[in-house]
């Protein structure tokens, strides 16, 4: 297994929310049903080249060589650190030069609503058949009309099983026992900072109701008094050292801690959680859409999906790939045993539109309280 080096895929939603809102206001939005381009299934891909923007270490280092060998098309890889960074580039109003972008599901939804995403031509991606059936029912893009999922997972509590009893509720983080005060962390990013309180209060993770969000704010302001830190990136290192005993965490990143200490485990609280998805989107401005579709088709080959699961330690919606994973890998990292149907029980995060600014404002008020 490749040494893990993947960091920083999740972000500062604030900047992007503002960019997104401004862009939507400027163009008036779109219903996302723009007709697909007239693509040629027999196009000579050796005459096409594409630029793919992805998070660093999120696909094989030699992907360009292998893709060219498999299809004849050339490709260049660029990296972005956050959803917000790539969204700012894609919504700037000119051709970004990017043909395929990796973004999380709610951002793919926003791109489609702005008319910036090329509708997916399923005939050019026969490997869509490798997706688990629930991966075609994602609420931000039902039927995979504008995006194709690459990885997915959920958010829960990552904890030291040798230091604390297994948590069962989000309130174990929000209202920790006296002996755990000052030893728990939560995420800093808008949607995931809100998630524990939203679920503990029985609200949707996509709520835009101002009264509900006022209750969420009050609960999070109270919780801040017992936190060790807001931490999106190094929480598993705090668990390894014992500085923290429980952290809000993405399932895949909790696996990074488990790789170092087998007593680090992951649980989804009884109130439920989210379903996050990282997707691939073909940009409307792409001048080589056949090659762009061929790239997505190539990544949906079972062995490429299996690479992602084995190296990033995230579940992938590619069922053929999940079926290839070694049994010992799933035994070592139990979150990889979660089925597609179980993941779909989580609430898909969707684009908040203009309400994203309310989230950003509340996060500022909570973290500065």
Model confidence at 147, pLDDT cuts 50, 70, 90, reads: very high
pLDDT recorded at residue 353:
87
pLDDT recorded at residue 34:
56
pLDDT 10s digits, 240-285: 999 999 999 999 989 999 999 999 999 999 999 999 999 999 999 9
Question: How far, in Å, CA of 344 to CA of 153, rounded?
Answer: 9
Identify the residue with better confidence: 84 or 219.
Answer: 219
In DSSP notation, 152-194 reads EE-EEEEEETTTSPPP-STHHHHS--GGGTTSEEE--SHHHHH
User: In this structure, how many other beta carbons lie within 10 angstroms of the beta carbon of residue 241?
Assistant: 11
pTM, entire model: 0.86
**Residue 111 buriedness (CB in 10 A; 0-12 / 13-18 / 19+):** buried
The residue-averaged pLDDT of 188-192 equals: 89
Bridge-partner residues for 131, per DSSP?
318
Identify the residue with better confidence: 34 or 163.
Answer: 163
Q: What is the mean pLDDT of the chain?
A: 90
């Amino acid at each position: 297994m490749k040494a893990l080096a993947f960091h920083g895929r999740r972000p500062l939603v604030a900047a992007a929310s503002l960019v997104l809102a401004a862009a939507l206001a400027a163009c008036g939005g779109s219903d996302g049903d723009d007709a697909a381009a007239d693509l040629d299934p027999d196009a000579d891909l050796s005459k096409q080249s594409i630029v793919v923007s992805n998070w660093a270490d999120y696909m094989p280092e030699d992907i360009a060589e292998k893709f060219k060998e498999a299809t004849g098309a050339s490709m260049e890889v660029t990296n972005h650190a956050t959803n917000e960074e790539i969204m700012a580039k894609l919504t700037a109003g000119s051709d970004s030069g990017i043909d395929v972008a990796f973004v999380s599901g709610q951002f793919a939804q926003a791109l489609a609503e702005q008319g910036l995403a090329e509708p997916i031509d399923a005939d050019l991606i026969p490997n869509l058949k490798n997706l688990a059936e629930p991966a075609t029912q994602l609420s931000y893009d039902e039927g995979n009309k504008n995006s194709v999922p690459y990885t997915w997972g959920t958010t829960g509590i990552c904890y030291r099983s040798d230091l604390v009893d297994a948590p069962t509720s989000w309130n174990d983080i929000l209202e920790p026992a006296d002996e755990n005060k000052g030893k728990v962390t939560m995420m800093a990013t808008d949607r995931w900072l809100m998630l524990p309180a939203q679920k503990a209060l029985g609200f949707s993770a996509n709520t835009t109701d101002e009264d509900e969000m006022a209750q969420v704010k009050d609960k999070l302001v109270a919780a801040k008094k017992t936190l060790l830190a807001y931490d999106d990136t190094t929480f598993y290192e705090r668990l390894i050292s014992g500085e923290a005993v429980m952290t809000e965490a993405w399932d895949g990143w909790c696996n990074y801690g488990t790789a170092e200490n087998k007593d680090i485990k992951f649980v989804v609280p009884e109130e439920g959680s989210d379903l996050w998805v990282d997707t691939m989107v073909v940009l409307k401005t792409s001048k080589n859409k056949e090659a762009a579709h061929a790239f997505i088709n190539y990544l949906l080959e079972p062995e490429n999906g299996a690479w992602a699961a084995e190296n990033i330690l995230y579940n992938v919606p590619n069922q053929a790939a999940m079926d290839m994973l070694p049994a010992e890998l799933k035994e070592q990292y139990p979150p990889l045993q979660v089925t597609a149907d179980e993941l779909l029980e989580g609430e898909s995060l969707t684009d908040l539109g203009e309400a994203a600014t309310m989230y950003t404002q509340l996060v500022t008020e909570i973290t500065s309280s």
